[in-house]
Amino acid sequence: MTRWKLILEWDGGPFMGWQRQDHGPSVQAALERAAQAMTGEAVTAHAAGRTDAGVHALGMATHIDLAREMTPHRLREGLNALMRPDPVAVLSAEPAPNDWHARFSCVGRRYLYRIANRRPPLTLERGRAWRIPLPLDVRAMEEAAAMLVGKHDFTTFRSVHCQSESPVKTLDRLEVQQHGEEVHIHAAARSFLHHQVRSMVGCLALVGQGQWGPEQMRTALEARDRAALGLNAPAQGLYFVEAVYPTGGEERSS
């Protein structure tokens, strides 16, 4: 039996998220079907994170266990062929130690949120960014973002459906950057609460539009109450960028 580490990219638009669902398509189910069609083996795929419906991935680490012997090239090409026309791609495949786990071995997760700050509707990027037509004050957003970095109780930014045992998380990075007419928000932590990134981005957007002052971000954080949340950003602007593992060889640069 070989444990295979796979790095996946996908467009989240058609999916109910990573996790297998009874009421719609999922990335996990697409990968498991392809692996079974290729090998005849029933497999369970594990991922570094569980993304919501509509959320994209640039480099999601996953793993599957297969008894059939094959080369990394053959596995990657076979899975990609069998997942068509689903918008999922295996970027790389490599054997991993049997005790390596895509989720439990992960020590860091990185996300990117894309805001298209423009008046015209999106055409080429439709479904891949959140369009905000009003001008955004990026400096005010940067000031507000800095208040969330560190170890805090993030109850305000946590979905009511979150299954995490504790609302306390350490946010290592929340950075706002201007790239032409796009605003990129980078978030990094060991782990995140359900909807945490989208909730933080939604409130940063309120700050950028002048509906909140930067200090209101601290007020919302300290309220520790979901009712204090200003806005939950839509899923289509969110990308899972990278899963980080303890050794350099297990880390994917982007």
52 is catalytic: yes
CA 69 – CA 71 distance, rounded (Å): 7
For 165-212, the pLDDT digits (tens) are 899 999 999 999 999 999 999 999 999 999 999 999 999 999 999 999
Catalytic residue among 11, 52, 65, 137: 52
Residue 253: per-residue pLDDT:
34
Burial 61-71, CB ≥16 within 10 A → b, else e = bbbbbbeeeee
Whether residue 167 contacts residue 158, with contact meaning beta carbons closer than 8 Å, is answered with: yes
Residues in the chain: 254
Instruction: Encode the chain in three state secondary structure.
Output: CEEEEEEEEECCCCCCECCCCCCCCCHHHHHHHHHHHHHCCCCCCEECCCCECCCEEEEEEEEEEECCCCCHHHHHHHHHHHHCCCCEEEEEEEEECCCCCCCCCCCEEEEEEEEECCCCCCCCCCCCCEECCCCCCHHHHHHHHHCCCEEEECHHHCCCCCCCCCCEEEEEEEEEEEECCEEEEEEEECCCCCCHHHHHHHHHHHHHCCCCCCHHHHHHHHHCCHHHCCCCCCHHHEEEEEEECCCHHHCCCC
> Exposed (0-12), middle (13-18) or buried (19+): which is 18, by Cβ within 10 Å?
buried
Residue 243: predicted pLDDT: 97
pLDDT in tens, the chain (254 residues): 999 999 999 999 999 999 998 889 999 999 999 999 999 999 999 999 989 999 999 999 999 999 999 999 999 999 999 999 999 999 999 999 999 999 999 999 999 999 999 999 999 999 999 999 999 999 999 999 999 999 999 999 999 888 888 999 999 999 999 999 999 999 999 999 999 999 999 999 999 999 999 999 999 999 999 999 999 999 999 999 999 999 754 443 33
Quote the tokens at residue 176: 């706002």
- The β-bridge partners of 11 are none
Q: Provide the pLDDT for residue 248.
A: 52
What the chain holds in terms of domains, given with CATH numbers, is: 2-105 (3.30.70.580), 108-242 (3.30.70.660)
50-59: pLDDT as tens digits: 899 999 999 9
Residue that is written with structure tokens 């005849």 in the block = 40
- What pLDDT sits at residue 146? 98
